[in-house]
Each structure stands twice: as structure tokens, then as C-alpha cells.
Amino acid sequence: MLLSMISRRDFVIAAMAAGTLAAGARGAFAQAAGTGKMTQDDILRFDPVGTLTILHTTDLHAQLEPIYFREPSVNIGVGEARGLPPHLVDEAFLAYFKLAAGGRDAYALTSLDFDALARNYGRMGGVDRIATLVKAIRAERGQGNVLLLDGGDGLQGSWSSLQTRAEDMVRVFNALGLDAMVGHWEFTYGAERMQEIVEKAPFAFLAQNIRSVEWQEPVFEGRKMFERGGTKVAVIGQAFPRTPISNPRWMIPDWEFGLREEDLQKQVDEARAAGAGVVVLLSHNGFDVDRKLAGRVKGIDVILTAHTHDALPAPVMVGSTVLIATGSHGKFVSRLDLDVKDGKVAGFRYGLLPVFSDAITPDPEMASLVKEVRAPYAADLGRVIGQAGSLLYRRGNFNGTFDDMICQAMLAERDAEIALSPGFRWGGTLLPGDPITFETISNATAITYPACYRNMMTGQQLKDVLEDVADNIFNPDPYFQGGGDMVRVGGVGYSIDVGQPMGKRISDLVLLKTGQPLDAAKTYAVAGWASINKDVEGPPVWELVERYVAAAKTVNIAPTGSVKVTGA
């Protein structure tokens, strides 16, 4: 498909899945029969174009083994992004991308009938399965024609990564033959550890937008030129620009982040002057930020976007820039074939490859490595604490039932009236009847600042917190968004009008145990975790959740409906 053939309205051009997939891969999501189980050959089937292939993984969150992961049922777009991918879910998502309901596509990409479909199609992901796909594509295209890139949030999110300070995932990425990555949660290991990883790792760590505070010098390499498929490919790294706001600044006190549009434009121009036929932005900005940026920075051929965990079976076009969204937790690998002629991209073909674990033969070398790095923690990870009596999931703009379980644990174990849990997107899904192991708890809580605090807050302070977080998510200008989800709440309900400005979105706060409105002047006992402040006191949150689950034995949580959303 020629890039010049894809055009729509002047702000953003969303490539419709039917056209893209028909002209692109006869790949996984282009199969006519959307309800049958896939084979490994189905997943790999692709009509190649050109000589250059880019493979993309992102937001693995250190998940080495297959998991269940339910996609969101609420993903609200505001401003010019309203009603556009990735802010479509369930039936609207399937209709937009012309995918069948009730089958494997619906299972992989939506929350519809998740319990039943998960039992039919099984877990997704697993780095040993990803390794199989990567090796097969390299064998098909030739080692020198394939570039493997990771969009960050790969080194954090599991117990073994926390305990080894990411050494397990560094070894895994090395075994995959990773060429380059960027970062976000990686920085929560601290500046010293990150510098150590970058110095030792055989793959490039790129971040053009990080500077030293004192000297304003680049902390990391900004871009790297690769020779692939007879083409010079410039890869520019863009770390999460709001890291010192969203995560503890005291862990990286000497670094400044930010978008740095002008610096990025300079990187693109220099890459072109150095002979780059393809310029790729390996980004952890978040999808809406990258969509805006693509219209402002000229000369980028491909943006591999990340952070917001969006999985789209077709690219989104902004002018001639291709935006690719690969999802999270190892559920997908993106394949992008580029046809480069006369020093520029003449066409492309794209496929989102679903990593259906049961359909893919594990790569034996990677499987052996996974077993080795998990071995010191295997007994602890396998401890069964209790059982899921209902579907426990996390992903979405507002509370998920796994988040509700964490909040209930804090309410009970910290003797609190209100609980606040961060709007993290990482951590697997449990089906009814699944064991709740220590691994499933730590997969949702394993961070370097896990202390569960107990403070007193007034009703007005709580409203101010919710307003601040809401503006971080629902500000109509993507450059003022943090790309997260709303703080999860326990013990309190509220209404939110996402279409209102800062200070006017949150109303009707109610203390659930009494049914009475929160008094703006009254103080309440509030428990929370993942505070970005230094020297926060309290037990690690995973200990509280483990005690709560052990006491409950079976955890049954239905969606509370305590948050009323309007204006979407």
C-alpha cells in the first residue's frame, strides 16, 4: 500500500482496518474465519513487501510467561481524539475495524465475553513464544533485514524483575536479539541502576529527551543508525516525558525530561542529512501525545507508540506518518514491512500478530532461560493464597475488580475509611476459579516504592486530588495528559464529568459506608500506596493484599458502579 494513497481529514487520518489488512498481511487478523483457533502458521502468515521489516514489542512489564489480560471496557477520548482509535472499545471497536464478534479477534482485542472466550482461546504472551515468532520472521526475511525494537516498560512489573533489579529482563531482551529500547518504569530502579544497565546491555537504550539538570547535556544516546534491508534506518528514542511527575523524582534527581519537540525535529533533520531512508520514533509518549506530535514534527516515517497499552489491528495515519500501537504484556508483536525506494518510504504493509500461547511452539532456548531466571523465586511465586470467585481485572479508565480487591485490602488492613490505589495498567487478569498466587498479586504491585501509608485528609483535599488526576487524564490537549488512568478509590463514590474543565469535573463525593456526602472540612482516614514522596512509611502493599486474600479465601468482587461518568 502506498503511503500517498492513504489520506483523510487534515488533523488525523485513521486507516480503516479492512483496507489496511486487505492490502497488507494475510495475517492473523486478516483471516476470513474469525472464530476458529489459530495455528502458528496462521499467526506468521504475511505477504511481505520491500526488504525491511521492523518488529515491535512494548509494555511487557516483565511478564515472562503467558497470562490472561482483559482489554478495557472504558477508554475515553477527549478533545479531537474523541471517538477515534484507540478510544473505542468492545462493539464499537469491532465495528470500526470490521472484526467478528464472539471469536478470537474479540477475545484478543476487547473485553466482550472475556471469561468464556479466555477459556476457549487460552492465555496470551510468553517471551518463549515471542522468541519463536521473532526467529521465524528473521529466518523468512534474513537476519540483516529485520530490526527488533521495544517501546519500554519492559524491565518492570514482576517479582523476579523487582528482586533482580531488571537483570532477568535484560538477559531476556539480549536473548531475543533486541536492537534498541526506550524507557519509563525502568527509571524507578534509580539513576545509578539505569546507567549500569545501559552500560552493560548489548542493545541500545535511546532517549533524546533526557538532559542533565546542571549541564543540560544528553544523559543517553538520542538516536542510532541501523543498516537493515539495504537501508539506513534512524531510530530516535523518546522516553516518557512526564516521568519526574508520575514517578518519584528523588530516584532521578539530576535528570530532566519533557517532550522537546525542537530537539526531536533536529534529530530527524540530522538523521536525514546522514542518509537515513527511514526515520522511526521509538516512543513512550502515549498514543494521543504521539498523534499530536506527528502533525508537528516533520519527516518521521513511523512512530512506534507505547505507554497507553493500546492494541490496534491497523495503523493510524497522520499525514504520511504511520502510528503503530502494539498493546501490552506480550499479547502482540507488530510487524511492519517497509518498501524503500530512492531513499524514501514508498509503501508499507502491517500486521498485528497475536501471541496465542497455545498455538505457538515455545522456543526451547528462551524457555530454558525463563526457567533459569525464575528458579530462585519459583516457590514463592507459586504460593497459593486464595481463589478468585469472580473475574479480577485491572485495565480501564476507572476501577477494575483487581483494583477493588487492592482497595478493600487497604481498607481492612490499614483501618481506613477511604483507599486510593494508583491507576496502573499492568498486571494480569484472573478468571473465576483461578488460584490467587503470590505471583498474581506481585504482578500488580511489584514496584520499588510500595509502602502503604495511612494519612488523614479532608473531604476538600480528596476532591482536589481527584480533580488533579482527572485533568492529567482528560485534559483536551494531549500534551497536558499523563496517559494514565484515574486513581482507583475504595470506600468512596463520586461523579465525574470528563467534558468539564479543571476543578469542575468531580462532584457528589459520598462515603459509601454511611451513604452520606463527604464533608469538605471533615478529616477522613485514607490509605494508599505508590506515593512519589520520599521516606513514606508503611508495609509493602503486596503484604496487605496477601493477608486480605488469605483471610477471605475466595474473593468475589462485582463492579461497584460507585463512579458515575458523564460527558464522554
Q: What is the pLDDT of residues 287-334, one digit of tens each?
A: 999 999 999 999 999 999 999 999 999 999 999 999 999 999 999 999
Buried b (16+ CB within 10 A) or exposed e, 263-283: bbeebbeebbeeebbbbbbbb
Burial of 475 (0-12, 13-18, 19+ CB in 10 A): middle
Q: What span, in angstroms and rounded, lies between the C-alpha atoms of 456 and 453?
A: 10
Q: What span, in angstroms and rounded, lies between the C-alpha atoms of 257 and 245?
A: 10
pLDDT of 4 higher than 90: no
pLDDT of 32 reads: 35
Q: What span, in angstroms and rounded, lies between the C-alpha atoms of 420 and 345?
A: 48
Please give the share of the chain, as a percent, with pLDDT higher than 90: 91
Query: CA distances (Å), 52 to each of 141, 146, 237, 288, 548, in order?
Result: 8, 6, 19, 27, 52
Q: What span, in angstroms and rounded, lies between the C-alpha atoms of 368 and 371?
A: 5
Q: What span, in angstroms and rounded, lies between the C-alpha atoms of 102 and 153?
A: 31
For range 178-187, the mean pLDDT = 98
The answer to whether 40 and 361 are in contact (CB under 8 A) is: yes
pLDDT of 568 reads: 86
Q: What span, in angstroms and rounded, lies between the C-alpha atoms of 550 and 548?
A: 6
For CA atoms 123, 19, 301, 12, give the dihedral sign. negative
Peptide bond connecting 313 to the previous residue in cis, omega within 30 degrees of 0: no
What confidence category does residue 13 fall into, taking pLDDT thresholds of 50, 70 and 90? very low
- β 488-490/418-421 pair status: antiparallel
Q: What span, in angstroms and rounded, lies between the C-alpha atoms of 212 and 220?
A: 10
pLDDT of 484 higher than 80: no
Among the ranges given (3-12, 238-247, 408-417), the one the predictor scored with the smallest mean pLDDT: 3-12
For CA atoms 321, 82, 84, 114, give the dihedral sign. positive
Q: What span, in angstroms and rounded, lies between the C-alpha atoms of 159 and 373?
A: 11
Q: What span, in angstroms and rounded, lies between the C-alpha atoms of 407 and 555?
A: 13
Strand ranges inside 284-400, DSSP E: 302-305, 316-318, 321-325, 332-341, 344-354, 384-388
Q: Return the domain boundaries, the chain.
A: 8-34+51-63+129-371, 68-122, 383-566
Residue 14 β-bridge partners: 316
Residue 82, SS3 per DSSP: coil
Closest residue by Cα to residue 182 from 232, 240, 269, 259: 240
Q: What span, in angstroms and rounded, lies between the C-alpha atoms of 425 and 488?
A: 11
For range 57-66, the mean pLDDT = 98
CB atoms within 10 A of CB 315: 26
- CATH number for 383-566 (one of 3.30.70.260, 2.40.37.10, 3.40.50.300, 3.90.780.10): it is 3.90.780.10
The answer to whether 171 and 373 are in contact (CB under 8 A) is: yes
How confident is the model over 250-280, as pLDDT tens digits?
999 999 999 999 999 999 999 999 999 999 9
pTM of the model: 0.95
Percent helix, strand and coil across the chain, each rounded to 5? 35, 25, 40
pLDDT of 51 higher than 70: yes
Residue 349 β-bridge partners: 337
Average pLDDT of the chain? 93
pLDDT of 28 reads: 60
For range 106-120, the mean pLDDT = 97
The architecture CATH gives domain 8-34+51-63+129-371: 4-Layer Sandwich (3.60)
For range 532-552, the mean pLDDT = 97
The helix (H) or strand (E) run that includes residue 490 is strand 488-490
